[in-house]
Each structure stands twice: as structure tokens, then as C-alpha cells.
């Protein structure tokens, strides 16, 4: 299916950054949309996800060879995303076992390239101290690091058995089910949930009138 550029915001319904990244390509209304089509689109997604600051995006775009380098990173981002989607689809709904680590060599290689560091800083909200991560983003390649760390966090710090695929017809979105009863079925009640309710209502009316 060919990706289509549609003027709509990227969905952030995954309840985890790693799954929001997986959802950066989706099929709303049955047409696949690609939100990481090129380097500029990748920067827009990272800005929407609050992973980079506008100054970071401007600096990387203005650098020599910036557009071509960013396009190359966008290709890597799509490959990373698609590989992680396949992993998530294979393992969703059950705890990860030790054998799953063998499938994550590419992610570990990416994590090994991380140039960020943490430092102790003042907490502007609480008045105390906090750990703050400093992202140099010295090269476009470093844009993938916060995404890689989010993936690692989903794998190691969350319950992978709560990773779900939306049950909506033709919907490809995934999410982490954080509901108390872990019974979430839809990416969003405002979209797939309401469509399913409307379809069920029409079906009931059809049975009643027959």
C-alpha cells in the first residue's frame, strides 16, 4: 500500500512514546499515512512528541548537508519503527521472555551510540533537585536516541502483556493498556470506539426491524 501525505496531526494515543512512534504510520480511513516521510517530517514528529526543541530542529536543518542527512535519518527511523512494530505485533499481549532479547540486537547497537548524559539540576516545579537528561543532538543520527530509549523503557519497565492492537476495523494503531481492568479495546473512543458503537447500534436496529 502506498503511503499518502494527509494534512492531519500524527496520533499520540499509544500511552507510551515507543508505541506513539510505532503509530507514526497508520491507516485512518483505510489509507496509509506516513508521518516520517522525510527529514523535515521526522523533525515535525519529534517536535510534536516534545523530544526536541525548536532550536535543535533549526540548527540541524541549517547545518551543511542538513536536508540530505536528515532524510537519511528519516529512512533509518522508518526501518527502526517497522522492525519494532513487527516485534510488538509478535509479542503483544504476553510477557516477554529471555528469548526475546535475541531479537533486539539492532536496538542495542543503536543504544550504544547514545551521546546524551544525565546531570543533577534544580527542579523548577518541586523546588528540589532532579535528574535531567542533556541531549547534544550534535548530529542528525542522535535524533534516534530518545526513541531508542523509549523502546528500551517499554521493553524493560512496562508490562508487555498490556500492549494491544486497536480492534477497530482496518485500524493499525497500537497502545499500552493502562486502564485499571486492562480492558481497553480501542485506540480512541472518539474514533474507532464510536464507530464500533455505531456499527453495533445499526446491527441491533437491523435485527429489530427484520
**Which domain covers residue 91, as residue numbers?**
17-185
- Structural domains of the chain, count: 1
pTM exceeding the 0.75 threshold for the entire prediction:
yes
Q: Tell me if 210 is assigned to some domain.
A: no
Q: Tell me if 141 is assigned to some domain.
A: yes
Question: What is the mean predicted confidence (pLDDT) over 71-92?
Answer: 98
Q: Tell me if 209 is assigned to some domain.
A: no
Q: Tell me if 193 is assigned to some domain.
A: no
CATH number for 85: 1.10.3300.10
- Give the pLDDT band of residue 204 (cuts 50, 70, 90): low
Q: Tell me if 3 is assigned to some domain.
A: no
Nearest to 79 by CA among 143, 27, 36, 123: 36
Q: Tell me if 204 is assigned to some domain.
A: no
- Give the pLDDT band of residue 170 (cuts 50, 70, 90): confident
Give the model's pLDDT for residue 193.
Answer: 66
Query: Look-up: residue for cell 523502546?
Result: 151
Q: Is the dihedral of CA 140, 81, 13, 29 positive or negative?
A: positive
Q: Tell me if 179 is assigned to some domain.
A: yes
Q: What angle do CA 144, 148, 150 make, to 5 degrees?
A: 120
Decide which of 205 and 22 is more confident. Answer: 22
Q: Tell me if 197 is assigned to some domain.
A: no
Does residue 110 surpass a pLDDT of 90? yes
Rounded distance between C-alpha atoms, residue 32 and residue 21, angstroms:
15
Amino acid at each position: 500500500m502506498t503511503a499518502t501525505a494527509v494534512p492531519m496531526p500524527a496520533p499520540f494515543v499509544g500511552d507510551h512514546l515507543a508505541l506513539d512512534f510505532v503509530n507514526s504510520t497508520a491507516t485512518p480511513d483505510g489509507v496509509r499515512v506516513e508521518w516520517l516521510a522525510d527529514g523535515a517530517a521526522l523533525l515535525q514528529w519529534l517536535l510534536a512528541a516534545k523530544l526536541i526543541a525548536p532550536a535543535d530542529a533549526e540548527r540541524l536543518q541549517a547545518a551543511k548537508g542538513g536536508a540530505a542527512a536528515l532524510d537519511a535519518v528519516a529512512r533509518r527511523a522508518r526501518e527502526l519503527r517497522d522492525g519494532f512494530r513487527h516485534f510488538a505485533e509478535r509479542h503483544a499481549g504476553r510477557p516477554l521472555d529471555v528469548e526475546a532479547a535475541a531479537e533486539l540486537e539492532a536496538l542495542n547497537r543503536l543504544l550504544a551510540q547514545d551521546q546524551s548524559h544525565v546531570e543533577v539540576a534544580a527542579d523548577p516545579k518541586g523546588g528540589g533537585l532532579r535528574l535531567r537528561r542533556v541531549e547534544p543532538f550534535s548530529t542528525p543520527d542522535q535524533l534516534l536516541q530518545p526513541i531508542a530509549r523509549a523502546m528500551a523503557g517499554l521493553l524493560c519497565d512496562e508490562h508487555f502483556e498490556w500492549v494491544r492492537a486497536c480492534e477497530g476495523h482496518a485500524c493499525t494503531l497500537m497502545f499500552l493498556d493502562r486502564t485499571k481492568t486492562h480492558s481497553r479495546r480501542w485506540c480512541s473512543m472518539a474514533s474507532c470506539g464510536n464507530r464500533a458503537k455505531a456499527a453495533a447500534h445499526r446491527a441491533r436496529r437491523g435485527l429489530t426491524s427484520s
